[in-house]
Amino acid sequence: MILALISLLIGFVIFRLLPEVDGDAPMSFRQQFKLLGSAVIVSGLFLTFFRESGNSVLFTYLTPFMQDILQLKASNISIVMLVFGIFGAVGTRLSGYGIDRWGAARIIAFSTIVLVVVLALLPLFAGSTLIGLLLISLMMLSQFMAGPATQTYFIQQAPQSSSLVLSLNTSIIHLGLATGAGAGGAMISANSTVLYNPWMASFIVILALVSAFISFSMGKKRLSNLQKRQAS
């Protein structure tokens, strides 16, 4: 309740201070479905789906993983979660800097590769609380680096329909989180332990990486064709 009241206050301040911004031009359903026919956008949405699913396979069960696998005391969980949140905030800030310097596609690729490696290593260091927590911190850093980069990438690929694409991306995020949570629960039921969830998550995030490279390749091909038409 306290957080809700504070949020309402902050929301009122934002409403009063932010300038008016024109929205996107209205789009018919036909135009919206035409947008979904873009291989660049669809493969980008698959990137979001697989990445969020992979994250959720572990993150949904992160507390039992830290308690049962990393042997972390329950009394320390809240402090550790706060530290993870700080790493997430730093990841978001690094993402903004990296997008300006190297571009959204490179940040997406880098953060996703880091996420795959970290998830694959986690079960191998189950006996070390410190290394396990450091790896999870890197997971949080890379996860939050990917979010702003993905949104920027979608805006760059569909500037005239950015609101529509970002709203679709948000829906895909929640679908991925739900799918990953279910898959993680099934993994625990099959193995009676949360130890192997990171390996499952790593495999799913590899699918996200494949989707990302497909989208990047399609985007470059589309840009090349557009430049050729303009030259002719």
Q: How far apart are CA 208 and CA 212, in angstroms?
A: 6
Q: How far apart are CA 226 and CA 67, in angstroms?
A: 54
Residue-averaged pLDDT of the chain: 89
The torsion angle over the Cα atoms of residues 121, 124, 125 and 127, rounded to 10 degrees, is: 160
Give this prediction's pTM: 0.86
Helix (H, G, I), strand (E, B) or coil at 193: coil
pLDDT band at 208 (very low <50, low <70, confident <90, very high): very high
Is residue 223 predicted with pLDDT exceeding 80?
no
* Contact criterion met (CB below 8 Å) for 54 and 204: yes
- Percentage of the chain beyond pLDDT 90 is 73
Token pair of 210, please?
A: 């494949």
The string of pLDDT tens digits covering residues 8-53 is 999 999 999 988 877 666 666 666 666 677 888 899 999 999 999 9
Predicted pLDDT of residue 35: 67
Token pair of 153, please?
A: 């990438």
φ/ψ (deg, to 5) at 72: -85, 135
Predicted pLDDT of residue 39: 85
